[in-house]
Structure 1
């Protein structure tokens, strides 16, 4: 049952696009190898949920991210559903060349708004990495690919502390100017709050159109949904999320992962905002991957709905 005050809802968008990042961001830091066929089946199940974007894998060096070593096989084997995009993360020209070999149509380039974090995560400075992002993006665009830009540590860094919103805005402007169709702003260590998120969105939207801004919130301090709502109130209509709350930043102490797609969809649906995403489909995908990983979902909504389902089955 929805309890919606139409006078309040008018300030919210009618539709929010969900970008499902669990196959890449959700799984990349798992310690135990996940079989390729499990990843493929997981992505296939996500493709049946109504989500229009499923970030499939990462074309990074197996030396740095062993879990993504099967990226070419995963991308080749997944069922490409009509109307669904399957972007992949690409860190450099070598990764882009490999992505082109298997027919990738969309890539994502990534960098951090923190110089120290950038050096630890990509082994180069913020400026050096931003230049590399631009080079990869330009070449990909020349090849007819769509390019998304990720900026991590947009609100705070585990090494530098608070990040000035103006720095993020300048990075976003450069990525937009080079041709990125979306710019995803990440609260990588999950320490942001609605006020700092609003300040970030206001700074970035002063330089790039609000329509291209996405938010990527981690739930380390339980602020992800509040931060997403704050971003939506500022006009953002693109939200990254991860089924079962999979993922998390290895540099963030106590990291509990990305915001769960189930929780985001439940919140938006209750507010009368369409996502086109089927909750039952999300639960099926969540059950599948959580069973494969041998753990329970981190989604509060997922836990509640699965418990309710079991209670109903027991009653029947």
Structure 2
């Protein structure tokens, strides 16, 4: 299949990227990050997570973040809502889209949220129903699609089955997550081929981590299959909690550089995105995880 002409980049830095950062990041910093990302041309930004601050203290200001957004026309500001309480908070805060998450691995789901995959899907049913009633779109995440820290290899058919369940429940798009970044291009292709038999390709996204340095190669492999939605995080924010010292999310700058080199439209200004990566890493005192960001420097 030919490469897509256009790719939608879903920026997960403000949520997935920041949620494991130690210390408290000021709400104003999060708001400025989101605004800078919008100014760089990103049209889909995961802005917050309505979870218990007890479990994810960094996301304790989700309502303030959503309320303080300078909303740009045509930009989707999404939030993660793992339960009905979280959804109600997100709805009151005026989100335009919510996300729910499960895994393709039973062992991972048990360790992560203390229930089976089937039970995790049951928990989301009321969230998805409430979102439908409020005319709010729901995106579904499936983690561990290319490997699990506890169960090892995951059968592509298992990923396909869980993805189909989320689609049938009402998710408009399913994001396929290589949570520990162990995938390689051929595995990524085979996984996507299996899932695309159960869910239309146009409703699938790739959320690949770079733990083993394979994320861009894996993304190229699924782009060749026609996939046209990619999740990424500015400056590669967000470590991998299952591999000490390992990188997590693939950097948005690196993804956009790859896509531009392939002649694929994104609508994103790479120079402004690189500036944003240097700005946020400077504010939170961590190294910039983007190779392109490092190469282009912060003088852009």
| C-alpha separation in 2, matches of 1:119 and 1:33 | 29
Q: How does 1:154-303 map to 2 (within 5 A)?
A: 154-303=145-294
Show the counterpart of 1:314.
Answer: none
Q: Deviations over 1:15-64 (max 9, x none)?
A: 01100000000000011111111111111111101111000010000011
The answer to whether the Cα contact below 8 Å between 2:173 and 2:205 also exists between their aligned partners in 1 is: yes
Give secondary structure in 2 for the equivalent of 1:86: strand
The answer to whether the Cα contact below 8 Å between 1:198 and 1:234 also exists between their aligned partners in 2 is: yes
| C-alpha separation in 1, matches of 2:288 and 2:146 | 27
> Mind listing any 5+ residue stretches in structure 1 that lack a counterpart?
1-9, 311-316
Give secondary structure in 2 for the equivalent of 1:162: coil
Runs (4+) of structure 1 moved beyond 4 Å?
Answer: none
The answer to whether the Cα contact below 8 Å between 1:218 and 1:248 also exists between their aligned partners in 2 is: no
Q: Deviations over 1:238-291 (max 9, x none)?
A: 000000001133123442020000001001101111111101110221122111
Show the counterpart of 1:83.
Answer: 74
The answer to whether the Cα contact below 8 Å between 1:49 and 1:278 also exists between their aligned partners in 2 is: yes
Q: How does 1:5-44 map to 2 (within 5 A)?
A: 11-44=2-35
1:112 lines up with 2:103 in the alignment: yes
| C-alpha separation in 2, matches of 1:122 and 1:276 | 37
Show the counterpart of 2:127.
Answer: 136
Give secondary structure in 2 for the equivalent of 1:54: strand
Q: Cα distance, 1:294 vs. partner?
A: 1.0
Give secondary structure in 2 for the equivalent of 1:87: strand
Q: Cα distance, 1:97 vs. partner?
A: 0.9
| C-alpha separation in 2, matches of 1:231 and 1:133 | 28
| C-alpha separation in 2, matches of 1:93 and 1:144 | 15
The answer to whether the Cα contact below 8 Å between 1:246 and 1:298 also exists between their aligned partners in 2 is: yes
| C-alpha separation in 1, matches of 2:286 and 2:88 | 36
| C-alpha separation in 1, matches of 2:109 and 2:28 | 32
| C-alpha separation in 2, matches of 1:66 and 1:143 | 28
| C-alpha separation in 1, matches of 2:243 and 2:174 | 22
The answer to whether the Cα contact below 8 Å between 2:131 and 2:138 also exists between their aligned partners in 1 is: yes
Aligned pair partner of 2:46 in 41, 55, 63: 55
RMSD across aligned positions (CA): 1.3
The answer to whether the Cα contact below 8 Å between 2:185 and 2:221 also exists between their aligned partners in 1 is: yes
The answer to whether the Cα contact below 8 Å between 2:143 and 2:179 also exists between their aligned partners in 1 is: yes
- Give TM-score, length-normalised by structure 1: 0.92
The answer to whether the Cα contact below 8 Å between 2:7 and 2:229 also exists between their aligned partners in 1 is: yes
Give secondary structure in 1 for the equivalent of 2:211: coil
| C-alpha separation in 1, matches of 2:247 and 2:119 | 30
Q: Cα distance, 1:120 vs. partner?
A: 2.2
| C-alpha separation in 1, matches of 2:67 and 2:214 | 37
- Report the count of equivalent residues: 300
The answer to whether the Cα contact below 8 Å between 2:40 and 2:273 also exists between their aligned partners in 1 is: yes
The answer to whether the Cα contact below 8 Å between 1:134 and 1:175 also exists between their aligned partners in 2 is: no
